[in-house]
Structure 1
């Protein structure tokens, strides 16, 4: 599951990772939530000698995919995540999986571990070695009856690896830099050709830091959201509990 994430690195670092063109600077964002604009990278026009070298372009999209065929977005749940195992067959995501696969830069994401029936504890999940990562994303353009077009998107998820399973059973798909070109190449790579990329992160790649429940409120922002807090029950730090239940398990 990925219901909140953060992008706090410099624009130069993001541009270096994604090799995008037409890039505009942006401020650090510590608590990105569904319906807000998120940065995505997708394949652009070919460049270079013989126009054989692919380029990438950046785009801001509404986080929450609306299928192009939808007549009324209010008829749909907020599609901010898509299960990677079934996205190629689901009507809502099938076209985007074939034609508009994207990368979503991030420094990490937040996840909640259910404790009892009424309480959930938040964690900041980040690469153990720091730095930027790229989620696997999908983009779709939707037009309202008046002709106004809006770009929308979702983040693909997969089963959680052993490090995070004690917090939640789902996690975002991470695309490694060496796989960027293949993931984004929707002209030559069909969904079945990139299915091997839709897997959990390697064990040890992430660490989960217990943080304050201030992150629960979308209006809260700033680096303080990612500061470690002490809890009496830290069993999730080992992420091995099989009895934990779901948080925001929609897709």
Structure 2
């Protein structure tokens, strides 16, 4: 049950392949992330009703591909700040645990959200107090499924759940599940709105993640925020969980 990820301040624009992590390398996106980092100390946590701590995710921008000289088939991507815990409708977060979604239950429990996919940019993730990173220290992408609802003021609110898979490598020594990390070369395939969220994609995404999942290493204990005011404190702000879980 992964409920915490993070991004390094000023160092999130380079991926584990040494290439720019699009769109985090853009000037506007850098400014947005800098503001988020200052308020959250780089820690993405489950969104609290009162704290309303939204976290960065990456989605395909619209349905059209961006035509660029470097890669005419590359998807145009956008940075959004989203609520970590799925909302099915405008009434609020669902009552069951909806911050993690098992890859083997995407079609059964998350079929609608599986059609609207995102990437969570991360420098690390935390499981049972242990911080996991990629050996390069670069930013990697975690698969997510999303739902967009309309708030009372008419604005759109993007909500998401992190996709998990069976743990392998060092991660398996801590928990039997881990985030579904997607290699950079497959980000577009995961994000592509023209690709239906179906059984083939669910199976393929786990296969894509195999080498990268094995590469994740335990880098030490979870990093602590410098000031308590920047940290979402579990039971004080976290959405209550019912016994029924879907992760």
Q: Same fold (TM over 0.5)?
A: yes
Contact 1:183 1:189 in 2 (8 A): no
**1:180 aligns to what?**
187
TM-score, normalised by the number of residues in structure 2: 0.71
More helix by share: 2
**2:126 aligns to what?**
110
Match of 2:43 among 10, 31, 34: 31
Following superposition, the deviation at residue 198 of structure 1 comes to 2.5
Contact 1:163 1:204 in 2 (8 A): yes
Name the CA shift for 1:16/1:208 in 2 (closer, same or farther; >3 Å). same
Tell me, in whole angstroms, the C-alpha distance in 1 between the residues paired with 2:224 and 2:12: 26
Match of 1:211 among 203, 216, 221: 221
**1:233 aligns to what?**
none
| Match runs of 1:48-127 below 5 Å | 48=67, 53-67=74-88, 70=89, 72-73=91-92, 76-90=95-109, 93-98=110-115, 100-112=116-128, 122-127=129-134
Following superposition, the deviation at residue 179 of structure 1 comes to 0.7
> Which is greater in Rg?
1
- Highest relative contact order (Cα 8 Å, sep 6+), 1 or 2? 2
Structure 1: gaps spanning 5 or more residues: 113-121, 222-248
Aligned residues: 208
> For 1:23, what is the secondary structure of its paired residue?
helix
Tell me, in whole angstroms, the C-alpha distance in 1 between the residues paired with 2:103 and 2:228: 26
Task: Verify: 1:197 aligned to 2:210, yes or no.
Answer: no
Contact 1:126 1:206 in 2 (8 A): yes
Name the CA shift for 1:172/1:66 in 2 (closer, same or farther; >3 Å). same
Tell me, in whole angstroms, the C-alpha distance in 2 between the residues paired with 1:184 and 1:153: 14
Q: For residues 166-196 of structure 1, what are the alpha-carbon distances to aligned partners after superposition, in whole Å with 9 as ceiling and x for unaligned?
A: 2111100001011111111121344223221
Following superposition, the deviation at residue 126 of structure 1 comes to 0.9
Q: For residues 65-115 of structure 1, what are the alpha-carbon distances to aligned partners after superposition, in whole Å with 9 as ceiling and x for unaligned?
A: 111xx363265135211111101221xx211212x1111110111111xxx
Contact 1:136 1:156 in 2 (8 A): yes
Q: Report the aligned-residue RMSD.
A: 3.0
**1:46 aligns to what?**
65
Contact 2:81 2:158 in 1 (8 A): yes
Tell me, in whole angstroms, the C-alpha distance in 1 between the residues paired with 2:230 and 2:123: 18
| Match runs of 1:118-157 below 5 Å | 122-144=129-151, 147-157=154-164
Structure 2: gaps spanning 5 or more residues: 48-52, 232-244
TM-score, normalised by the number of residues in structure 1: 0.70
Following superposition, the deviation at residue 24 of structure 1 comes to 4.6
**1:225 aligns to what?**
none
Tell me, in whole angstroms, the C-alpha distance in 2 between the residues paired with 1:56 and 1:75: 28
Tell me, in whole angstroms, the C-alpha distance in 2 between the residues paired with 1:53 and 1:32: 27
Following superposition, the deviation at residue 144 of structure 1 comes to 4.3
